[in-house]
Amino acid sequence: MVCIYCGGSTRVTNSRSQKRSNATWRRRSCEKCSAVCTTIEVIDLSTAIIVTGSKRPSPFSRDKLLVSIYDSCKHQKDAQTSATLLTDTIIKHLYPLIEDASVSSRTIRDITLKTLGRFDTVAGVHYGAYHPVKA
């Protein structure tokens, strides 16, 4: 990885696996200017998981989920932070439900609705109204 300060090569000086977020945290040090930075390695869900059950199967989009949660949290003072943290929580709950690298849109909806409802009733009701169960 390239240093963000000088463009030199970096080396990993510390690394930790984060089970809760299914990520790997790494501290890096520049071999040229000795600057230190942190990287977080996560699975690229858009290349790994297919969403099934609505229209055609499509790649999972964290951004699409984030936007729908943000829309439901707009009434909060710090909607952006809430939506980001809620998205991470929902994805964490989705991991064990992924089978054969796919997850249904219904499962995403149900987990999102449950998580949002626990966090903020208004956000849960808003999300449910805009994401009805399709027959």
> Which residue ranges make up the site for Zn ion (CB under 5 A)?
3, 5-6, 8, 30, 32-33, 35
Least separation, in Å, of the C-beta of 11 and Zn ion? 11
In the chain, which residue ranges form alpha helices assigned H by DSSP?
Answer: 45-48, 62-72, 79-94, 105-119, 121-130
Query: By C-beta, is 22 or 34 nearer to Zn ion?
Result: 34
Q: Which is nearer to Zn ion, 9 or 81 (CB)?
A: 9
- For residue 9, report the phi and psi dihedrals to the nearest 5 degrees: -75, 145
Looking at the Cβ atoms of 9 and 14, the one nearer to Zn ion is 9
> Residue 40 Cβ, how far from Zn ion at the closest point, in Å?
19
Q: How far is the CB of 6 from Zn ion (least distance, A)?
A: 3
How large is the angle between the packed helices 62-72 and 121-130, nearest 10 degrees? 120
Q: Which is nearer to Zn ion, 5 or 95 (CB)?
A: 5
Residue with tokens 């003072």: 77
Closest distance between Zn ion and the C-beta of residue 25, in Å? 20
Residue number with CB closer to Zn ion (36 or 42): 36
Give the tokens for residue 9.
Answer: 């090569």
In the complex, least distance from residue 42 CB atom to Zn ion, rounded to whole angstroms: 24
Q: How far apart are CA 51 and CA 36, in angstroms?
A: 38
The closest alpha carbon to 68, from 55, 81, 52, 87, belongs to: 87
